[in-house]
Amino acid sequence: MTQPIFETILLERRGDGLWIIFNRPRVLNAMSRLLVFETREAIAWASEQSDVRCIVFAGAGERAFTAGADISELRDMTSAHVLAYNRDWLDLFREVERCRKPVIAAVHGWATGGGTELALACDFVVCTDNARFGLTEVNIGVIPGAGAVVRLTRWIGRMKAKEIVMLGHHIEGAEAATLQLVNQCVPDGQLDECVDALVQELASKPPLALAAAKASINIGADVGFDAGLEYELQEFVRLFGTDDQREGMMAFFEKRAARFTGS
């Protein structure tokens, strides 16, 4: 299928990964309504491509991953308008979480507000030491409105989540790693190399098992303990009888690298 072309994002194939690059560098890649819509379209397209093993979010230019919402769009909105506006954001982040492919955030520079919210929805986050995270919405009289409060609290607990959300401070890359908001913080200039290596490693794994692992972890965090156990068991059983399960076990006994196809 022909790769789509968008106005506010770029799609770039790098090996087994599809990079979705926010392309509004003049405004720190702020996420306009159009950018949110196009990102959702890109995720839907990538999800249907069997040769795309991972999705990577990144920002164009040297200054930002994305500084979050385009505040110029919000300034004159009523409560009714902002409800529909933020529901689009909420849906975007749920689609990231529900995508059956691994999703990576490659973060450099500014990643405040919606940039941090997006990172919280991804499966892996790699940042540079010049990255600046933060849920700073309190400083303009609101709170994060697309799930970051809930996700952050589940990640790091109530006390630290209250500190981050209620004080609205920035969080540098190294501190984000200490807080386990990111998987890895690397020197500026090494981000693409590290993310490419992560994509390559993930691409060597069986796609169906990766999708099952992602779903089991995410759903297990959302439901009761017993329901989470049952979901994990059913996913384990479902994977038996797949070509990849047979190939993986045969390769184990034959002491060779497995060749997974996603079937």
Q: List the domain boundaries for the chain.
A: 9-203, 207-254
Same fold, 9-203 and 207-254: no
Which residue numbers are catalytic?
Answer: 117, 137
Give the per-residue pLDDT at 1.
Answer: 67
pLDDT of residue 259: 87
Q: Domain 9-203 carries which CATH code?
A: 3.90.226.10
The b/e string for 10-35 (b: 16+ C-beta within 10 A; e otherwise) is: ebeeeeebbbbbbbbbeebbbbbeeb
Q: What is the pLDDT along the chain (263 residues), one digit of tens a residue?
A: 689 999 999 999 999 999 999 999 999 999 999 999 999 999 999 999 999 999 999 999 999 999 998 888 888 888 888 888 889 999 999 999 999 999 999 999 999 999 999 999 999 999 999 999 999 999 999 999 899 999 999 999 999 999 999 999 999 999 999 999 999 999 999 999 999 999 999 999 999 999 999 999 999 988 889 999 999 999 999 999 899 999 888 889 988 888 888 78
Q: DSSP labels for 117-161?
A: HHHHHSSEEEEETT-EEE--GGGGT----SSHHHHHHHHH-HHHH
How much is the pLDDT for 187? 96
Q: How far apart are CA 17 and CA 203, in angstroms?
A: 8
**Architecture in CATH for domain 207-254:** Orthogonal Bundle (1.10)
Distance between CA 250 and CA 242 in Å, rounded?
Answer: 12
- Nearest partner of 88 among 138, 47, 35, judged by Cα: 35
Kindly report the pTM of this predicted structure: 0.94
What's residue 73's pLDDT? Answer: 86
